[in-house]
């Protein structure tokens, strides 16, 4: 969206005084506090919320149609056409040269799986579908796991416990807590289940751009890192491995991330808004 509109919103909807004051107080105490410009205003939040509604509908449509035997290109087609039908745009297409409209990551693929007409979903696969939707210039980003046909108990458990990791991360994302609190909570839970947490990739601020500050690590220390200020919009998107945490990047396409030990990996993602009393999931 154009600069002028932002300037207008800035003027008409300034960040509330008491929030600016508290941010400045924290800065004085050498806490990491995001720049004021990243605090979303009501008009922006409404825009991101609307993008979130379409994003959720896209993933619901994928949920209705996904099945064994389908190619990952067919998932790309579903996401692409449904998104267009709703006057929205798929953010991945052309993003830093990414060639498709959605990421589809299967089994040991951690994320950024590129849809292909040569790749089929098989009975027993666990599949992450990650959609980022732009509506009227505002971004919402979410992903879900899908179990294809008869999935082993081990894989089902990984999928369910990873969803729990996201929920625990969201519960930790309280106003005036820190990004480190989110990572700490996720890491602690994942470890207790014998899983490892991917460190090389993380969540991110989102809303006016695809990836904004801060980086949201899914490991961390309590009270460390960027403070979570009401009005921040960010993703939490833990990638959890059954084996070790190490990952490698596909040397041919330079996008797809795999577990180094070829163990299974799962991921769930939501876009959330930090509010004065807690948080709100914008991609439900
Ligand atoms: N949607 C991913 C995320 O959660 C980013 C994908 S980048 C792409 O941040 F280019 F691969 F689409
Ligand atoms: Co995403
Ligand atoms: Co994301």
Q: Is 62 helix (H, G, I), strand (E, B) or coil?
A: helix
72 token code pair:
């990952």
Q: How far apart are CA 257 and CA 203, in angstroms?
A: 15
CA atoms within 13 A on the CB side of 171: 10
**Among 52, 112, 203, 238, which is best to mutate for testing ligand 1, by the most ligand atoms less than 8 A from CB?**
112
Structural domain count of the chain: 1
Residue ranges for the chain with pLDDT beneath 70 = 1-2
Gyration radius from the chain CA atoms: 19
In a domain, 25, yes or no: no
Ligand whose nearest atom lies closest to the CA of 143: 2
Q: Give the per-residue pLDDT at 205.
A: 98
Q: What is the pLDDT of residues 38-66, one digit of tens each?
A: 999 999 999 999 999 999 999 999 999 99
**Smallest CA separation from ligand 1 atom 2, residue:** 130
Q: Is 237 helix (H, G, I), strand (E, B) or coil?
A: coil
The boundaries of the domain holding residue 40 are 31-281
Q: Are strands 233-236 and 270-274 parallel, antiparallel or unpaired?
A: antiparallel
Q: Give the per-residue pLDDT at 11.
A: 87
Closest CA to 196 of 240, 160, 238, 234: 240
In a domain, 181, yes or no: yes
In a domain, 142, yes or no: yes
In a domain, 80, yes or no: yes
Q: Are 52 and 271 in contact (CB under 8 A)?
A: yes
In a domain, 139, yes or no: yes
| CA 74 to centroid of chain Cα atoms | 22
Q: Are 48 and 40 in contact (CB under 8 A)?
A: yes
Gap from CA of 161 to ligand 3 centroid (Å): 19
Gap from CA of 103 to ligand 1 centroid (Å): 7
66 token code pair:
């996904």
In a domain, 99, yes or no: yes
User: Which ligand 1 atom is the nearest neighbour of the CA of 91?
Assistant: 12
CA atoms within 13 A on the CB side of 209: 11
Q: Are 123 and 68 in contact (CB under 8 A)?
A: yes
**CB-based pocket (< 6 A), ligand 1:** 92, 95-96, 98, 103, 112, 130, 132, 141, 235, 237, 269
Ligand whose nearest atom lies closest to the CA of 104: 1
Segments of the chain assigned E as strands: 89-90, 103-106, 109-111, 126-135, 138-147, 196-197, 203-205, 212-216, 233-236, 239-241, 247-249, 257-259, 265-267, 270-274, 279-281
User: Which ligand 1 atom is the nearest neighbour of the CA of 95?
Assistant: 10
In a domain, 8, yes or no: no
Q: How far apart are CA 39 and CA 79, in angstroms?
A: 30
Q: Give the per-residue pLDDT at 269.
A: 99
CATH code at 113? 3.90.230.10
Gap from CA of 132 to ligand 3 centroid (Å): 8
C-alpha to C-alpha distances, 86 to 34, 82, 151, 206, 215, nearest whole angstrom: 33, 6, 33, 21, 30
Q: Give the per-residue pLDDT at 168.
A: 98
Q: How far apart are CA 200 and CA 218, in angstroms?
A: 10
**Among 203, 210, 218, which is best to mutate for testing ligand 1, by the most ligand atoms less than 8 A from CB?**
210
In a domain, 15, yes or no: no
Q: Give the per-residue pLDDT at 34.
A: 98
Q: What is the pLDDT of residues 131-148, one digit of tens each?
A: 999 999 999 999 999 999
Q: What is the pLDDT of residues 209-224, one digit of tens each?
A: 999 999 999 999 999 9
Token look-up 């924290």 returns 26
User: Which ligand 1 atom is the nearest neighbour of the CA of 130?
Assistant: 1
Instruction: Please write down the long-range contacts of 149-152, taking CB distance under 8 Å and 24 or more positions apart.
Output: 149/67, 149/68, 149/122, 149/123, 149/124, 149/125, 150/123, 150/124, 151/124, 151/125, 151/126, 152/124
Closest CA to 217 of 234, 232, 236, 241: 236
């Amino acid at each position: 969206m154009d600069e002028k509109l932002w300037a207008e919103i800035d003027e008409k909807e300034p960040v509330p005084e008491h929030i600016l004051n508290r941010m400045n107080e924290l800065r004085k105490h050498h806490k990491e506090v995001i720049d004021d410009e990243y605090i979303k205003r009501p008009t922006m939040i409404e825009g991101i919320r609307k993008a979130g509604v379409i994003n959720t509908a896209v993933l619901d449509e994928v949920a209705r149609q996904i099945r064994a035997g389908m190619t990952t290109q067919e998932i790309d087609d579903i996401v692409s056409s449904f998104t267009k039908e709703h006057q929205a745009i798929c953010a991945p297409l052309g993003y830093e040269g990414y060639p498709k409209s959605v990421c589809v990551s299967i089994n040991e693929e951690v994320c950024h799986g590129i849809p292909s007409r040569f790749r089929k979903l098989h009975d027993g696969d666990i599949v992450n579908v990650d959609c980022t939707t732009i509506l009227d210039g505002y971004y919402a980003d979410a992903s879900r796991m899908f179990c294809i046909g008869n999935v082993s108990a081990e894989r089902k458990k990984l999928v369910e416990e990873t969803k729990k990791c996201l929920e625990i991360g969201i519960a930790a994302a309280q106003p005036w807590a820190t990004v480190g609190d989110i990572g700490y909570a996720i890491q602690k839970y994942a470890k207790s289940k014998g899983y490892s947490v991917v460190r090389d990739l993380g969540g991110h601020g989102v809303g006016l751009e695809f990836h904004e500050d801060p980086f949201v690590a899914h490991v961390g220390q309590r009270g460390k890192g960027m403070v979570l200020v009401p009005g921040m919009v960010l993703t939490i998107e833990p990638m959890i491995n059954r084996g070790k945490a190490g990952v490698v990047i596909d040397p041919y396409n330079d996008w797809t991330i795999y577990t180094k030990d070829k163990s299974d990996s799962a991921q769930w993602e939501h876009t959330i808004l930090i509010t004065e009393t807690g948080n709100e999931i914008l991609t439900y």
